[in-house]
Amino acid sequence: MTTFSSAEIVAPLAPLIGLPVWGIRQLVGSFTYLEFGDPHLWIREPLNPDPALSPIVQKGLRQRRIWPEGVWSLTLYMCGWAIFLDSQQLGHCETPRDAIDRVWEDDVAGRKLESIRIDAQTSETVFTFEGGLEVRTWPLDSDHGQWRVGHKDGDSFALRGDGAFSKRKGNTPPSDYEWSKCDETPEIVIGRFH
């Protein structure tokens, strides 16, 4: 297995530093999208669904879907996460949906990302935003992803629960993902810390 250098980890994440977060949406469980950079429209054309799917799913797939995305999207998935302001927890991945939606909208949206700190041993990551706000993530298991930063061109960079990273071009199928660790340093820091 090859390894990532710290510079190879910093490069795909550094463009997010200094950008405000917007378009935050939580889907199922801890699965949450955070958008960065200029907005553009993502359009999914109607699909011809498999007749074995439920009528509701078939109807959704037959419809054109359009939504705004940023140049970069940070996706939190299959991980635990919590939001802190000045060391006080505002909410976490199991907070009731209406309450955590208010935290994302009222306390997180619009803040600029100042830094990202990744513990290469534990996969714990701290995304620090202006004004002392932090979004902290940690793995729930070693087999699944924890977060992914995707670019509108389809390229992405991800961290898995076991501390392995993956850099992908375009729409690489999951079966072709290659995961490697960073053995160079126990902590990777992108941006500035106070």
Helix (H, G, I), strand (E, B) or coil at 154: coil
Q: Please give the Cα distance from 70 to 61 (Å, whole number).
A: 23
pLDDT tens per residue, range 108-138: 999 999 999 999 889 999 999 999 999 999 9
- Its sign, for the CA torsion 49, 51, 53, 55, is positive
Q: What pLDDT is stored for residue 194 in this prediction?
A: 46
Cα separation values, 68 from 64, 89, 113, 127, Å: 14, 29, 20, 22
* 48: pLDDT strictly greater than 90: yes
Structure tokens at 40: 């553009």
pLDDT tens per residue, range 161-181: 998 899 888 777 767 778 888
Residue 114 amino acid letter: E
Q: What pLDDT is stored for residue 61 in this prediction?
A: 92
Backbone region of residue 12 per phi and psi (left: phi > 0; alpha: psi in -120 to 50; beta: other values): alpha
pLDDT tens per residue, range 70-114: 999 999 998 999 999 999 999 999 999 999 999 999 999 999 999
Q: How confident is the model at residue 2 (pLDDT cuts 50, 70, 90)?
A: confident
The overall pTM is greater than 0.75? yes
Q: Please give the Cα distance from 98 to 95 (Å, whole number).
A: 8
